[in-house]
Amino acid sequence: MNLAYLPSPSQGVWHLGPLPIRAYALCILAGVFTAVWLTGRRWEAGGGRREDIADVAVWAVPFGVLGGRLYHVITDPELYFTAGKQPIHALFIWDGGLGIPGAVALGAVGAWLGCRRRGIKLADFADAAAPGLVLAQAIGRWGNYFNQELYGRPTHLPWALYIDPAHRPADMPTISLYHPTFLYESLWDLGVMALLLSLDRRHHQRLRRGRLFACYVLAYTTGRAWIEALRIDHANHFLGLRLNDYVSLALFAGALVHLTAGRRPRGSGDAPCPPDDHGRDVRTSIADGPSSRERV
């Protein structure tokens, strides 16, 4: 019998009259607003205009939410489109189910549209947004805590997570304590954010043109690999691995290729880009910044 464990929340939904306030949605929104704030601060510190980030976010966020849901539904269609299931539930985002690879992929499409409107290079925006993006993931994962979902294997560790009977696996009705994989991923994401900020301060001249974003992909997918190994929620498997593992491997390989093949010899310059309203090369100012102390 465990004397120490993490309790699950007593509820994840509160009602204001007929209006349900869901903790899962609040966590997602908190992550989005925090990411926009941090990205805007970094963009402004590099010489850009903070309002650019808000304008790009108007496009990136809805696309990201749609992409995250599509990824979840496409990779786990049997949860919604098999006998006995209710297909309408594929639209119930508040019940959980936002795949981060899909959210980032389609969110990038929205960001590209927003960047075109503002005359911003997508790669420069991606580098500025990478720390905020992984911070949003760290915050959003707490929505899984309130939904009592995406936990790991049973464990007797002192930080085991108590899961209510209604949310336990059907084949483990009497087992109450599980690995809090939502917490593991949240802490890993915070570590990735700290790593990215440190790399940006120390090597911002080299980590340009999407290379800092590539570092985010490398670090995040590395953590996702060992976290996936602990999870026991439903997932499709191929050759013994969860589908998300293959996606992570593909993303890791692509990021590694971009980070290594995209490097230029020392002293080689980049092609010029149009200046901003103040006559500055925005691409250069974002990469270099006024000073290392002003970078966030």
3-state secondary structure of 237: strand
pLDDT score for 95:
79
Whether 69 and 77 have beta carbons less than 8 Å apart is answered as no
At 124-146, the pLDDT tens digits run 999 999 999 999 999 999 999 99
Distance CA 174, CA 157 (A): 17
Estimate to the nearest angstrom the gap between the alpha carbon of 193 and the chain centroid: 11
How far apart CA 142 and CA 183 sit, in angstroms, is 7
Strand segments (E) across 213-280: 237-238, 241-242
Residues 182, 231: Cα–Cα separation, whole Å: 10
Give the three-state DSSP class for 83.
coil
Strand partners, 177: 162
Cα–Cα distance, 78 to 236 (Å, whole number): 10
Q: Following CA atoms 57, 62, 64, 70 in sequence, which dihedral angle do they give, to the nearest 10 degrees?
A: -170
pLDDT tens digits in sequence order for the chain, 296 residues long? 566 789 999 889 999 988 999 999 999 999 999 999 999 999 999 888 999 999 999 999 999 999 999 999 998 888 898 888 889 988 888 777 888 999 999 999 999 999 999 999 999 999 999 999 999 999 999 999 999 999 999 999 999 999 999 999 999 999 999 999 999 999 999 999 999 999 999 887 788 889 999 999 999 999 999 999 999 988 888 888 888 899 999 999 999 999 888 555 444 444 444 445 444 444 444 444 444 434 55
Say which amino acid occupies 295: R
Task: Return contacts of 73-77, CB within 8 angstroms, 24+ apart.
Answer: 73/97, 74/102, 75/99, 75/235, 75/236, 75/243, 75/244, 76/234, 76/235, 76/236
Q: What's the pTM value of the predicted model, to 2 decimals?
A: 0.84
Contact 94, 149 (CB under 8 A): no
How deeply is 181 buried, as exposed, middle or buried, from its count of CB atoms within 10 A (0-12, 13-18, 19+)? buried
Confidence (pLDDT) at 4? 76
Q: Is 37 exposed, middle or buried (0-12, 13-18, 19+ CB in 10 A)?
A: middle
